Structure 1
Amino acid sequence: MTSLGHTLRELRRRSFTGREEEVAAFRDALGAPGVIFVHGLGGVGKTALLDVFADLAAEKGFDAVRVDARHLTLGQGAPPVLPGDVPAVLLIDTYELLESVDDWIRDHYLSALPASCLVVIAGRRAPGPRWRTDPAWRTLTRVIALGNLSPEEGRAYLCAQDVPGEMHDRLLTISRGHPLTLSMMADAVRRGATPRSLSDQPDTVSALLALIIDEVPSARHRTALEVCALVAVTTEDLLRAMADGDAAELFAWLRTQPFIDESPYGLYPHDVVRDAITADLRWRSPARYAELYRRKFAVFHELVRATADERERLEMLVLTVVLNGARSPLAAFASLPPTMRAYADQLHDRDRSAIVAMTADRQGRDQAELAAYWMNRRPEAFRVFRTETGEPLGYGACLDLTEADLGVDPGADAMWAYTSKYGAPRSGERVRAWRFFLDRDHGQRPSRSLTLFVAWQMLDNLLVGDDAAWSFVGAFEDAELWAPAMESLGFWAAAEAEYTVGESRFPVFAHDWRRTGVAGLADRLHARQIGAPTPPPGEVLGEAVLSEPEFTDAVRSALRTLHTPELLRSNPLLTSRVVRQHGRAGRAPTETLRDLLDEAVATLTPESGVVIDRTFLRPAGAQERVADSLHLSFNTYRRHRDKAIAQLTELLWERETGSRRA
């Protein structure tokens, strides 16, 4: 009579897909002494693979002996003794529970097994140093890192589970090919659900975390996990900034977790673990998720600013772009590949002919001639994207436009005309124009060059100075692809700035930093991340950009109405860049303006500061009375007052525009 266990084994075997290389390695090893050490994330299918190994061993006439460390106690229930007269395969599962006696198992128990015995060990962690440093064990041991299923293997599994074909791609994206997650998603479909993300299934997330992550020692350790899930890579310094206090213990603990990997830049979790921790935090505590996300942006911003080397800065942005892109619903970002050690470099004379040739080939002679023109006029604006050996892969250019540049390039002319209509740059302000991008082999399709170009743009956005007026992106040809991505970054489609070169039409996306600075961009990214509504970025065009005379009038008006709230609330300074940059959470714009004036007045000369303070900030009565208190005639007082106002206005204007008077 067939047992229930036999039926279960048959059903499991029918559901098993993929792992051809691992199975072939096991077949080749049968009959010879040695160890196959399989390691991988919880739920990745180690136990299922051992089931297949056991069945194959039995079919070949071997005695397959299974040991699960969860059911084993050393002592009276010690590992089994294998007979020497029967060919045997020993399969040890959940080996991470035996790591405390790893030396004894390797040097005493396994060494005493019959010479013909093949041992298969499966655990979450890779074999320890003693397995790798002992020449004998290193020779006898084959290590297999068991990863997620490939897309083809995942589809085969879903077909075996009768999941409708139209859902395969979505479930594979959600699960990232992680077998346990894929199985849970298939079960959800059978129960009538239509998962769109891991967040749609909080019960699945909870079960995954329970199976993949061992007990978390404390709330601080949980915070460390959450930080590690939210950032691209985690260093001890970043963890200290995000989690507060001494991070050495937390960082050391993270390094011991089997679902955490190490890179040259820091620690990072397996993709499915990152997704599950993030989804659980967002569901369990939306407010904490929002707080950590906002803090992440601030810490990352400071870290980038504190890094002097441009190449190192760009590498940090590449990691973030690739990680976030893989999770982005926006096609333009989701397709960005890793750079595989490609890097951005300055333009050299030897690059010019290659750039002209690839541009002529991909975008036509007219565009190639313009690239050559700008390489001569603004060589510092170009970056060449190179392979590890220095070979040019592609290039990009971000121009600082001036009125003197007009009349040659239709792109530069169109973007400058847009600024003239919607907010001309003021004295000392810059107009940034991302004018060229191309990859030698892929054009503007996904490539290592494209990843570097996007990372370079984002780096420029993070480091934008107070002297920046506009940034334009007019290098891409596919408006449909890039419009949603640019909008997510606060850039709007500037239809009036579009231009044609040769047979190519280039859409243009615009951002005015005077109307929405880096802090406003961070607020927008934060709102999108937590699902809060965000207004169309182009709406800011309704806010005026003050000329210097208008700014001067606004400062004078603010001083006069500082203690009349209903009038102060209509002052155009409230939407100026200098006030926005001075803002703090929970402070109304009028309060921010008062704080700004207080701090600015404190930097004036003592004589000017006293005049402004007693006349406007903390008025001592009528101005005649102020003059008397300062022992000045009224005419002399008025000269001092006007001079002090002029000094204050000049100081604020310098902060507004980022310019410095000679």
Structure 2
Amino acid sequence: MPLLLLERLNAERQRYFTGRQHECDRFKAAIDAAKLPFSVLHLSGVGGVGKTMLLREWMRICQSSQIPVAYLDARNFDPLPDAFLSALRAAMHLAPTDAPTPILAAQSDRYVLLINNYELLTPLDGWLREVFLPQLSEHILVVLAGRCALSSVWQTDPGWQTLLQSIALQNLTPDESRLYLTKRAIPVAQQRTIIEFTSGHPLALSLVVDALAQGQEIQLQSKASPNVIKTLLEKFLEEVPSAAHRKTLEACATVRLMTEALLAEMLDEATVHEIELHGLDVHELFEWLCGLSFIEVGASGVFPHRLARDILVTDLRWRNPNWYATLQARAYAYYSARLGLTQGHKQQQILLDCLFLHRHNVVIKSRFTWQEECHLQTDGFQERDPSELGRANRTALLKTVTQYEGEASARLAAHWLARQPQNVLVIRDADQRFTGFVMTIALHQASLDDLDADPATRAAWQYLQQYAPLRSGEGAILYRFWMAQHTYQGVSPTQRQIFTSVVQQHRNTPGIAFTFIPCAEPAMWANLFSYADLARIPEADFEVGKRRYGVYGHDWRVVSPAAWQERLVQREIAPSAPMLALSDAADSPLVLSQPEFASAVQEALRHFVRPDMLHDNRLLRSRLVLEHAATHDSAKRIAVLQSWVRDATELLKVSPRDEKLYRALYQTYLSPAPTQEQAAEALDLPFSTYRRHLKAGVTRVADILWQREIQGYVPKTS
């Protein structure tokens, strides 16, 4: 049998694992005891001190002693009870229908549960302490590993005082550091200086080894730095093999997950030329990146250790903000191109990638969570109903509404669930458990009686009628209910998933003209929604069950989804640049009625070969043009308008039914004869027939462009 990669990985980890003998002896003594001396072992230490490596060694000790062990990483699931239990079920290799808690409660032999990055489970700390852990068998040892000390409740509870032990993990001793460096083939003459500089910090030691392994000569100070990781990483960046390698690191730190394809897009031409001169390629750069000690591997790409990422980005934004903005812009360009080629879960992952690029923005960073990995998924409620899981989700949905908004709101949610179930998006974890939902109401598809039955839909519809009436073929949606099961509308991974689902719906819904988003605490979202061009609409506020909700909204006819996304990109990568919004009334977008639009199309055809006559055409301020020429340059807008008119006209050529209409338009407007009579003669048509074809052709072109104006695409001719 060939050696599995996992076995090789574990062998390499074991080979370089150094020190921690006291911690390992203490752990082994506990699991070998006839009765556990403590039930919970808390392992704490700063980032990069080696907690994960020690947990892996403890796993090996368990396996050597034939003691079952389960490992959980808090980065990979939400800090929610159901998400925790789902992750635990997977770690224990149980069936989807098995409940892990009763199995652990019935455990009569030694069992070890390791939970890493426990600081991310702070919202779950009380539940774990008071509900989950007390249900476990006395034969189970639970290890909680994290950067922070446990809350004081653990220390003051008389019960936990005797059942809890703590280990504060320190740097390696000089002897342990020396042994590690010897294992990594570092010459003895260099070891003392390295140890003094790093103070035995494991991540710092590994960074030095990485640098020396590349043949670099690092001049280390003999006196240890007070911030050794920052100093060492900066030194490492200065000593990377080439500028191309440095830019590779900086690019990796900028994005949520780095892939080889994304790296190829983010590197500039000078960097590509440099690596070619050195006989390298992007693949080799990516392989070098993956081999660095502070780079972690995820399911969909690689990413730096959190500490390394923070230092890299902080340094880059201070030292070379233009290059940082360029990296962001290239990442956005890569994501934007892929958005149009993907759908469903893959498209939502790309939207998360886009959102991650905003994580340092002061307006945005506090309103979202920023994990590299995301195991939540969004799908339609109707897809699962009427299965058992669908019924469970319906119950959970209505229970969640009742919990946070009351019985009156729950009755309205049930009403809309019966009327428009296809518009409900359910958020589920990796084990398909309900974690939240968003219920969208298509206002234009609802009956007047249904609209009037709900204060929210009644207020939104009245606003549309008075201030932003829908045109033929357009629709408006209200995100009537949106909430996470355990955190309502507060910051959480589920809330982040809801927001990316909303953006995804904006992109993929043809004809969307207006959206409304109600909030239980509108003031809390004011800064973020203002940044995202969602206007506060007090006229659409409503009250249900003596609770008042504030509403935000956006008119997509004025700023389309594509233009909106581009505006957010510009606000992030060039915050000092002028916004894409047009600044004066003469240049503001126009929302034309269908007759007004058709009249403007006819005028554009009439003056097609006379750009000087198109300066006052109202289509220059339509979504059709502004989406592709959001500029004050009249000549550019006219060129875009002419391009759309030409494309729509030539679209008629592909249809036998419409080809005669195209010929009439071509002879009259695109390549005009001196008179219409001469155009009819050139087409060998009676003048009355020619006029009929011409009129029908103008109508068809206006219809094609109208569909593009309101729905964002040019339909195929039949």
Do they fold alike, i.e. is TM over 0.5? yes
Which 5+ residue runs of structure 1 have no aligned equivalent?
1-21, 32-37, 58-62, 81-89, 97-117, 129-160, 162-177, 182-206
Q: 1:653 to 1:588 in 2, by over 3 A?
A: same
Classify the secondary structure of the residue corresponding to 2:173. helix
Superposition deviation, residue 480 in structure 1: 1.5
Superposition deviation, residue 378 in structure 1: 1.5
Q: 1:94 to 1:378 in 2, by over 3 A?
A: farther
Q: Deviations over 1:149-205 (max 9, x none)?
A: xxxxxxxxxxxx9xxxxxxxxxxxxxxxx7655xxxxxxxxxxxxxxxxxxxxxxxx
The separation in 1 between residues aligned to 2:463 and 2:584, in whole angstroms, is: 15
* RMSD, matched Cα: 4.5
Q: 1:240 to 1:453 in 2, by over 3 A?
A: same
The structure 2 residue matched to 1:123, chosen from 193, 200, 205, is: 205
Superposition deviation, residue 243 in structure 1: 3.7
The structure 1 residue matched to 2:495, chosen from 439, 444, 450, is: 450
Q: Contact 1:92/1:121 (CA < 8 Å) preserved in 2?
A: no
Superposition deviation, residue 454 in structure 1: 1.9
Task: Tell whether 2:419 aligns with 1:384.
Answer: no
- Residue range with higher mean Cα deviation, 575-584 or 419-428: 575-584
Instruction: Map 1:299-338 onto structure 2 (within 5 A).
Output: 299-308=334-343, 310-318=344-352, 321=355, 323-324=356-357, 326-330=359-363, 333-336=366-369, 338=371
Q: 1:459 to 1:311 in 2, by over 3 A?
A: same
Q: 1:577 to 1:543 in 2, by over 3 A?
A: closer
Classify the secondary structure of the residue corresponding to 1:306. coil
The structure 1 residue matched to 2:329, chosen from 262, 271, 294, is: 294
Superposition deviation, residue 590 in structure 1: 0.8
The structure 1 residue matched to 2:485, chosen from 417, 420, 440, is: 440
**Equivalent residue number for residue 238 of structure 1:** 262
Q: Contact 1:229/1:268 (CA < 8 Å) preserved in 2?
A: yes
**Equivalent residue number for residue 459 of structure 1:** 504
Q: Contact 1:490/1:524 (CA < 8 Å) preserved in 2?
A: no
Instruction: Map 1:160-171 onto structure 2 (within 5 A).
Output: none
Task: Tell whether 2:409 aligns with 1:367.
Answer: yes
The separation in 2 between residues aligned to 1:386 and 1:265, in whole angstroms, is: 19
Residue identity opposite 1:53 in structure 2: T
TM-score, normalised via structure 2 length: 0.62
**Equivalent residue number for residue 355 of structure 1:** 397
Q: 1:52 to 1:412 in 2, by over 3 A?
A: same
Which 5+ residue runs of structure 2 have no aligned equivalent?
1-16, 27-44, 52-168, 211-225, 273-280, 382-389, 654-658
The separation in 2 between residues aligned to 1:357 and 1:577, in whole angstroms, is: 42
Superposition deviation, residue 551 in structure 1: 0.8
The separation in 2 between residues aligned to 1:488 and 1:120, in whole angstroms, is: 42
Residue identity opposite 2:683 in structure 1: L
Q: Deviations over 1:376-400 (max 9, x none)?
A: 1111222333344444333221222
Residue identity opposite 1:464 in structure 2: N
Instruction: Map 1:40-59 onto structure 2 (within 5 A).
Output: 53-54=173-174
Superposition deviation, residue 264 in structure 1: 0.8
The separation in 2 between residues aligned to 1:30 and 1:500, in whole angstroms, is: 63
Q: 1:434 to 1:53 in 2, by over 3 A?
A: same
Q: 1:471 to 1:620 in 2, by over 3 A?
A: same
The separation in 2 between residues aligned to 1:73 and 1:392, in whole angstroms, is: 52
The structure 2 residue matched to 1:604, chosen from 642, 649, 652, is: 652
Q: 1:228 to 1:649 in 2, by over 3 A?
A: same
**Equivalent residue number for residue 700 of structure 2:** 647
**Equivalent residue number for residue 499 of structure 1:** 542
The separation in 2 between residues aligned to 1:221 and 1:258, in whole angstroms, is: 15
Instruction: Map 1:497-536 onto structure 2 (within 5 A).
Output: 497-529=540-572, 530-533=574-577
Task: Tell whether 2:557 aligns with 1:557.
Answer: no
Classify the secondary structure of the residue corresponding to 1:358. helix
The separation in 1 between residues aligned to 2:296 and 2:263, in whole angstroms, is: 16
**Equivalent residue number for residue 109 of structure 1:** none
Classify the secondary structure of the residue corresponding to 1:213. helix
The separation in 1 between residues aligned to 2:326 and 2:238, in whole angstroms, is: 25
Classify the secondary structure of the residue corresponding to 1:424. coil
Superposition deviation, residue 41 in structure 1: 6.6
Q: Deviations over 1:358-383 (max 9, x none)?
A: 32222111111111111111112223
Instruction: Map 1:216-235 onto structure 2 (within 5 A).
Output: 216-218=240-242, 220-235=244-259
Superposition deviation, residue 236 in structure 1: 1.7
Residue identity opposite 2:494 in structure 1: S
- Residue range with higher mean Cα deviation, 330-339 or 509-518: 330-339
Aligned length: 515
Task: Tell whether 2:591 aligns with 1:591.
Answer: no
Q: Contact 1:326/1:334 (CA < 8 Å) preserved in 2?
A: no
Q: Contact 1:95/1:121 (CA < 8 Å) preserved in 2?
A: no
- Residue range with higher mean Cα deviation, 481-490 or 243-252: 243-252
**Equivalent residue number for residue 476 of structure 2:** 431
Superposition deviation, residue 639 in structure 1: 2.4
Residue identity opposite 1:645 in structure 2: V
The separation in 2 between residues aligned to 1:450 and 1:486, in whole angstroms, is: 14
Instruction: Map 1:566-581 onto structure 2 (within 5 A).
Output: 567-581=613-627
